[in-house]
Structure 1
Amino acid sequence: MRSGRHYRQHGAASLYAVLAVIGLAIAGFLAIGNLPSSAPDEAASEGVSFEVVDGAHRELDGSPALALAFSLPLDAKGENDKFLQVLEMPAATPQRVRAPADEASEDEAAETEAAESASASTSRAAADTTLDGGKPVAGAWVVGENPRLLFFPHIKPQTRYVVRVAPGLTARNGSKLAGEVRFSIRTAAVAPAFYFSSRGMVLPAAQNGGLPVTTVNVPEVDIQFLRVKPEQLARFLEKVIAGPAHNGAARSAADGDGESTGEDDGPYFAARNRLQGAVSSWDLDQMHKLTTSAFVGRFLTEQTPNRRAVTFIPVESIPALRQPGVYVAVMSQPNRFREDYQTTYFYVSDLGLHLRQYPNSGGDAYVSSLTDGQARAGVEVSWIDAAGKTLLRAETDRDGRAAFAERPSAARLLMARKGEQMSLITLKERVLSATLREIPDGVW
């Protein structure tokens, strides 16, 4: 009996060992299959000579940079800097002869010259790529995500550089550059810009940095915050976020002072204005019956010159914006007056609202915390019509579920609310970060 038991144990051990070896072999095969391979690059590079294809002004991580494009991928760990030189060239002082009496021609020439100096340009002509008078620029070249691109960051706008590439620069496959190449690259002006980084969003309460604003060479911005009137919330969402298609006739119905004469301006308003990005002053003015001004402020932004930067506007710390609701943020540049304003909408909440609807029946709403993902009990969930009237309400249980046997036919909005927290879903399409989806009967 002992020898039989020993045999069975030995046989089982052998079987486990064989299975382990097979498992390791399969795992190794899969791992090898998932390793990054340079075979496609090598196949594509076969018979291709190593050359510098182009030089230009580009961006790297939001900052202006000089860029060289190559015919073959470079090695990110290679000694590329040894073969590259960058020189900042002195500003040109062209002498132009103009007729004194021809002021119009002089103005046009000045505008043309300014436009040319503001745009980027590249030349390989010998007269443009001479190194005389150039000042060497210290820095390091960086291989881009596309290994055929090489970047030299932290350069000045509206400056002419000469880039010299010496022979001997090596590609990843070992090919070497045969001869010297030079480029004259004039960098473009970095125009001031500002916009909201996200367009329409839920800001999770107590865990976000604020409302993100992206700026370039704009040291401060003015933002007016409009709060959507509670009784107009359903109409606002329907018109602005989930509105019908443009019928082409609404704007012509506007009266002399630009104010619409009837309710039929909704389709035009919705089609033209989703409150995302640049929105015209005319479109914004159509909202004055739906919103109230809650706060106006000037905010400093990140001030790194010529670099795209993100600043978080601390909306949660502004007392006037702590009242629950949907807010519209309208941003402008101080001392500048344009027809369009950068616009977005948002609300701050810790309530994540999810709706499951069933054909020809009701639905289930689920509420969870955006902070920890746990179900939230005791949250009031309401169906609201276009006039802002509550049609039906229920409270979530310990599983965060509010069950509805039916959906009111006039409902336009589902809202969850507890204390100062709220979340919502418009029943026409997805709004903000909440989700709406239909599933077949009985499917979970």
Structure 2
Amino acid sequence: MKPFRLAALSLALLTAFSLTGCDDSGTPQASAPAPAADSNPGATAKPDRAQLAALAEKSQGKALTLLDASEVQLDGAATLVLTFSVPLQPDQDFSRSVHLVDKKSGKVDGAWELAPNLKELRLRHLEPKRELIVSVDPTLTALNKATLDKPFEKTLTTRDIAPSVGFASRGSLLPGNVVAGLPVMALNVNNVDVNFFRIKPESLSAFVSQWEYRNSLSNWESDELLKMADLVYSGRFDLNPARNTREKLLLPLSDIKPLQQPGVYVAVMNPAGRYSYSNAATLFTLSDIGVSAHRYHNRLDVFTQSLENGAAQSGIEVQLLNAKGQTLAEAKSDSQGHVTLQTDKEAALLLARKEGQTTLLDLKLPALDLAEFSIAGAPGFSKQFFMFGPRDLYRPGETVILNALLRDSDGKPLAEQPVKLEVVQPDGQVIRSVMSKPVNGLYQFTYPLDSGAATGMWHIRASAGDNQPREWDFHVEDFMPERMALNLTPQAAPVAPDADVTFGVSGAYLYGAPASGNQLQGKLFLRPLRDAVAALPGFQFGDIAEENLSRSLDEVQLTLDEKGHGEVTTSSQWQDSHSPLQVVLQASLLESGGRPVTRTVKQPIWPAEALPGIRPQFTLKDFTITAPIPP
């Protein structure tokens, strides 16, 4: 079978363990290499000129010395790493200055690669149990032009490498419709023989309680455990990992019919042609049932979902077992995929089954640690000071706007009181302190940023007199790229003075999603349109003595529909005008954080189908363009 790379998806809530399986055929199956974090580990991301200049300046005046020369494991391969005190010049030929020689076979093949930090030289895929001599000439040059004071030479012996193979996990849950293969780790083992056993449904509880998620199976253990399982497939798989490199590979399962049936399986593996007292083994299950469990002091809430599409699964039989495989509690999931079971201190295993599919959850293993996730929310105080603003990202020179409400611990209004507000720069310095008083229960505060304001994370610190400071954070950045597109569309032709003016609105995120439910805010203005015909520059249209043609019209507040569309309409307030006009819409589409994307559009209004145009030969308040009349 054609090799392929595995994209591993880990689903863990409470304790999820992964298991995996393999395929049967009369001829050896080809394994598939699993993807490494870097598909081309030898590639070096070369810094640009600015980065090189900064590194050179930082290391200016420092001596170049070799700090360490040793063998390490990189991407599963033995690698010689030379560590230097300062960054090296990346454009030099390292093979002219750095040499590696095997005492028996001579020069070692391979190319030196420079690490992204420019301080490490690496040569991969060393042969095991070899005595090597590494030497560095003074011609090696650092980025700051420094060189070694004297030549360096060191003799080292590479580690021995024993061929090994094993499963990559103690257990895997493989969604049946998207299963890729069973992951194994191999080092200098080209072929393996694998036996697959399907655990008998009636023996599942007893088997799991005795299995204990081991990673190997001895001969005497197999005599007892495998009585509860049926051998369904045996096959040989070609691994062929890279020489002297520990690789993660996949034993393909998709074409093995005996392994396409849902159930719980055991795989036992040994290198082809070798037999030992103990062999690598793993437990895996083919199932579309995803399970998450939330443990409370008196109950266990279980949620079941499809691993293929995420939909809640109803009618799933959920069992709670002890270490002996005895049933402590059982129930079926409802239409929301939810099951509630009474907790039991003896509970060791949770089984979720339906139509031959089985998913296991070990309740004795550590639960998902939520300490690394920000789930605590804001701390609770007897006085809750809720701070919010139209956005949290500003440019230097703009004005920061903050609103706030004071409530008790139940969200009810408190008696009005002044609150101390402090503006804190990114360096921690307080640059302004005020006492803010509410108006009708609303605290409002504005702070104009200086045009040279420091960029970074700013804070507004609030104290409500309870010795519990709160902070509202906002960013100050020099440039804020837009993340939304806003299109304002006028009517195709000029409209009559008594007609309504309508603008079409279309908003979308730049990655393609419509701006569904986003707010559009803006304002309409009326302005005279003296230069009404672009093809006739300098010609003025309309009654020059007509007044009150420039004024503000309506405010715009609009929520875009599910497709990101909307309309802005204003009725005519200029029916008696004798001059060309234009209605100007200046509108801002707000992102979810309140940051606006602003656009302007104009709609011409003509009082008649034909109008005289005059090109004055005297100076107006704006300069006059003199140009010939086009034919």
Q: Are the structure 2 counterparts of residues 203 and 144 from structure 1 closer, same or farther at C-alpha, using a change threshold of 3 Å? A: farther
* Partner Cα separation in structure 1 for residue 200 and residue 366 of structure 2: 21
* Partner Cα separation in structure 2 for residue 357 and residue 66 of structure 1: 48
* Partner Cα separation in structure 2 for residue 189 and residue 429 of structure 1: 35
SS at match of 1:282: helix
Shift of 1:152: 1.0
In the alignment, does 2:336 pair up with 1:336? no
- Which has more radius of gyration? 2
SS at match of 2:111: coil
Q: Which residue matches 1:51?
A: 65
Q: Which residue matches 1:151?
A: 122
Relative contact order (alpha carbons < 8 A, sep ≥ 6): 1 or 2 greater?
A: 1
Shift of 1:181: 1.1
Shift of 1:59: 3.0
Which of residues 80, 83, 87 is equivalent to 1:74? 87
In the alignment, does 2:192 pair up with 1:178? no
Confirm or deny: 8 A CA contact 2:192 2:236 kept in the other structure: yes
SS at match of 1:206: coil
SS at match of 2:205: helix
Q: Which residue matches 2:203?
A: 232
Q: Which residue matches 1:402?
A: 339
Shift of 1:429: 4.1
Which of residues 291, 305, 308 is equivalent to 1:368? 305
In the alignment, does 2:351 pair up with 1:415? yes
SS at match of 2:248: strand
Q: Which residue matches 2:528?
A: none
Higher helix share: 1
Q: Are the structure 2 counterparts of residues 138 and 350 from structure 1 closer, same or farther at C-alpha, using a change threshold of 3 Å? A: same
Confirm or deny: 8 A CA contact 1:89 1:161 kept in the other structure: yes
Which of residues 129, 140, 147 is equivalent to 1:169? 140
Shift of 1:155: 4.2
Matches within 5 A, 1:220-369: 220-241=191-212, 274-276=213-215, 278-360=216-298, 362-369=299-306
SS at match of 2:232: strand
Q: Deviations over 1:11-53 (max 9, x none)?
A: xxxxxxxxxxxxxxxxxxxxxxxxx9xx9xx99x999853224
Query: Which residue identity lines up with residue 423 of structure 1 in the other structure?
Result: T
Q: Are the structure 2 counterparts of residues 407 and 167 from structure 1 closer, same or farther at C-alpha, using a change threshold of 3 Å? A: closer
Shift of 1:215: 1.0
More displaced stretch, 340-349 vs 198-207: 198-207
Query: Which residue identity lines up with residue 61 of structure 1 in the other structure?
Result: D
Shift of 1:79: 3.5
* Partner Cα separation in structure 2 for residue 58 and residue 409 of structure 1: 45
* Partner Cα separation in structure 2 for residue 66 and residue 239 of structure 1: 44
Confirm or deny: 8 A CA contact 2:196 2:234 kept in the other structure: yes
* Partner Cα separation in structure 1 for residue 294 and residue 70 of structure 2: 52
* Partner Cα separation in structure 2 for residue 69 and residue 138 of structure 1: 18
SS at match of 1:317: coil
Q: Which residue matches 2:75?
A: 61
* Partner Cα separation in structure 1 for residue 236 and residue 195 of structure 2: 9
* Partner Cα separation in structure 1 for residue 89 and residue 200 of structure 2: 56
What fraction of aligned residue pairs are identical, expressed as a percent?
Answer: 31
Give TM-score, length-normalised by structure 2: 0.43
Q: Deviations over 1:129-165 (max 9, x none)?
A: xxxxx447452323277x6542112444455544331
* Partner Cα separation in structure 1 for residue 92 and residue 221 of structure 2: 56
Confirm or deny: 8 A CA contact 2:110 2:123 kept in the other structure: no
* Partner Cα separation in structure 2 for residue 349 and residue 364 of structure 1: 21
Q: Are the structure 2 counterparts of residues 213 and 73 from structure 1 closer, same or farther at C-alpha, using a change threshold of 3 Å? A: farther
SS at match of 1:287: helix
More displaced stretch, 192-201 vs 55-64: 55-64
Confirm or deny: 8 A CA contact 1:88 1:159 kept in the other structure: no
Give TM-score, length-normalised by structure 1: 0.59
* Partner Cα separation in structure 2 for residue 86 and residue 206 of structure 1: 52
Q: Are the structure 2 counterparts of residues 173 and 349 from structure 1 closer, same or farther at C-alpha, using a change threshold of 3 Å? A: farther
Query: Which residue identity lines up with residue 141 of structure 1 in the other structure?
Result: E
Query: Which residue identity lines up with residue 163 of structure 2 in the other structure?
Result: P
Query: Which residue identity lines up with residue 79 of structure 2 in the other structure?
Result: A
Query: Which residue identity lines up with residue 400 of structure 1 in the other structure?
Result: G
Shift of 1:340: 2.0
Q: Are the structure 2 counterparts of residues 235 and 430 from structure 1 closer, same or farther at C-alpha, using a change threshold of 3 Å? A: farther
